[in-house]
Amino acid sequence: MKLSAYTLKNITSERVDVPEESILELPEKVLQFGTGVLLRGLPDYFIDKANRMGIFNGRIVIVKTTNRGDTADFGKQDGLYTLCVRGIQDGQKIEENIINSSISRVLSASHEWEQILECAHNQSLQVIISNTTEVGIKLVNDDIRRHPPVSYPGKLLAFLFERFTAFGGSEKSGFVIVPTELIPDNGKKLESIVLELAHLNGLQDDFIEWLEHCNYFCNSLVDRIVTGMPDEEIKIEIEKELGYTDQLLTVCEVYRLWAIEGNEHVKKILSFAGADEGVVIEPDIDLYRELKLRLLNGTHTLSCGIAFLAGVDTVKQGMDDPMIEKYIADVMQNEIGPSIPYEIDAQTVEAFTAKVLDRFRNPHINHFWKSITLNYTQKLKMRCIPLLLNYYKKNNLVPELFALGFAAYIYFMKPVKRNGDEFFGEFKVKPYLIEDEVAEKFYKLWQKFAPHEIVNEVLKDVALWGKDLSILPGFEQSVKDKLDSIINNGMRATIESAQSKKMVI
């Protein structure tokens, strides 16, 4: 039996939380740009939970923004999917299976743009959510009259202009817009790009005034490890237990946080926040952002190349490997924690660090290091470079474990094969796809320069990092030494050497 609206009434397993069919009739209140598992595992989870409690009473229209993959499974399953929550909470083992019924339909921006614009005429629609990865929120000189515009901000601006036109610029027709892309001040950055695009497109002054004063662009932070589809063997086991098949089955951890910067109006519109303490709406969310961005995401980013090149597939396997586990704990506690560029007391950092390490050990989460390397360069810049600079500001010493993470990044970004616009590295004679917007730059660097020259070229590239990192005392030489060791001695020997040199602050 396949999961769908038709088969809901036939699902009898006590191991799954089945929604009332009446929820499928709720009006569409949210427009969501992105189909990714993070959105399904966190914002969509909160909205579904609120609907079950009779709080929010609204469903989601999803916009598929790229041409990669398809939306067939959403259509076949009427937007339904099973969220499998696995982990430990307050010392208790948690295993929950929830059929999420928050999604009403999925529309492709490439093929169904007119239908997407029609959604702007729906007065019930009040919320816009997005997750288009870190590279999605950037300024492109986009024509919003294209069908569709190229960029996410272009698509959003076109939709907002359609809304303005449909309701004659009514004050109440504005949206609460909550991007979840993991960049600092994501809401304000998106707002500034949309406003600049409005000027570039020559849109009228009254629309720009409506855009600025009737819409609320909220900074937000999402924190939940969502790994998506489990291994085939585990998937089959879960489906057998539940009594149906699900091509959108998604696994996530228990821990959840969606911190949103907003006022009382934002709280009123985002009423689903009342369903779960994991949704926090406050005037200032910097504390939440810094803890999560640096200790969890920063650690992921510095460790992913190291673990991958050490032959470790998942974060959990890394925590089971004494050498990788020691690197992860040491870099988090001794280099990242003390270098967070925000005033946080040591006890708060220590408590959050312990919680993150427990989350990394979750036996139910297969979080692949290779997946974490997606947009490697941008993640390193946004999550880790501020830590590096602050470490030097405080200590004026080489952070040896950080240098190792940087050397691993440079080696991981060594394409040995090009296939059109795709670039492939090689590890243990097996190719791997380098999914990074500067992969071509590295392809040319590795063809032209020796490894020690590549380190200099990369570190001094202000366009990549926003600063010349080669001027940091001793850092370039440390990265060169570690890259040379990775090439000649392998990753594990290099980790052992770096551990012996680290400084404990």
Residues 247 and 295 in one domain: no
CATH of the domain at 214: 3.40.50.720
DSSP state string for 268-329: HHTGGGGG-TTEEEES--HHHHHIIIIIIIIHHHHHHHHHHHTT--BHHHHHHSHHHHHHHH
CATH of the domain at 363: 1.10.1040.10
| Residue 490 lies inside a defined structural domain of this protein | yes
- Mean pLDDT across 62-72: 85
pLDDT greater at residue 351 or residue 479: 479
Residues 276 and 304 in one domain: no
Distance (Å, whole) CA 426 – CA 431 = 4
State both tokens at 262: 């907003």
| Residue 156 lies inside a defined structural domain of this protein | yes
Residue 499 pLDDT greater than 90, yes or no? no
Residue 295 pLDDT greater than 60, yes or no? yes
Lowest mean pLDDT among 79-88, 130-139, 194-203: 130-139
Q: Give residue 134's pLDDT.
A: 65
Q: Give residue 363's pLDDT.
A: 86
Of 223, 299, 296, 217, give the one whose Cα is nearest residue 259: 223
CA atoms within 13 A on the CB side of 96: 19
- CA torsion angle for 378, 468, 474, 490 (degrees, to 10)? 30
Residues 194 and 326 in one domain: no
Which among 226, 254, 283 is the end of a domain?
283
Residues 278 and 328 in one domain: no
Residues 383 and 470 in one domain: yes
Residues 278 and 294 in one domain: no
Domain of residue 331: give its range. Answer: 290-502
Model pTM above 0.85: no
| Residue 29 lies inside a defined structural domain of this protein | yes
Q: Dump pLDDT digits (tens) for 35-63.
A: 999 999 999 999 999 999 999 999 999 99
Residues 262 and 221 in one domain: yes
The β-bridge relationship of strands 81-89 and 92-100 is antiparallel
Percent of the chain with pLDDT over 90: 89
- Mean pLDDT across 363-378: 92
Residue 182 pLDDT greater than 90, yes or no? no
Distance (Å, whole) CA 407 – CA 398 = 13
Residues 258 and 386 in one domain: no
Sign of the Cα pseudo-torsion (133, 87, 366, 83, in order): negative
Q: Give residue 92's pLDDT.
A: 80
| Residue 246 lies inside a defined structural domain of this protein | yes
State both tokens at 168: 């004659």
Residues 207 and 344 in one domain: no
Residue 500 pLDDT greater than 90, yes or no? no
| Residue 2 lies inside a defined structural domain of this protein | no
Residues 319 and 428 in one domain: yes
Q: Dump pLDDT digits (tens) for 445-496.
A: 999 999 999 999 999 999 999 999 999 999 999 999 999 999 999 999 999 9
Residue 301 pLDDT greater than 90, yes or no? yes
Which among 227, 251, 283 is the end of a domain?
283
For residue 56, give every residue at least 6 positions away whose Cβ sits within 8 Å of its Cβ, in sequence order, or none.
29, 47, 50, 271, 272, 275
Percent of the chain with pLDDT over 70: 99
Q: What is the total count of domains within the chain?
A: 2
Average pLDDT, the chain: 95
| Residue 312 lies inside a defined structural domain of this protein | yes
The secondary element (H helix, E strand) that includes residue 427 is strand 422-427
Query: What strands lie across the sheet with 430-433, from one edge to the other?
Result: 417-419, 422-427, 430-433
Cα separations (Å) of 196 from 12, 132, 138?
53, 19, 11
Q: Give residue 227's pLDDT.
A: 86
Residue 391 pLDDT greater than 50, yes or no? yes
Q: Give residue 505's pLDDT.
A: 44
| Residue 475 lies inside a defined structural domain of this protein | yes
Query: Alpha helix locations (H) across 361-473?
Result: 369-372, 376-379, 385-395, 400-412, 439-448, 451-459, 462-465
Residue 504 pLDDT greater than 70, yes or no? no
Greatest distance between any 2 Cα atoms in the chain? 67
402, 335 Cβ separation under 8 angstroms? yes
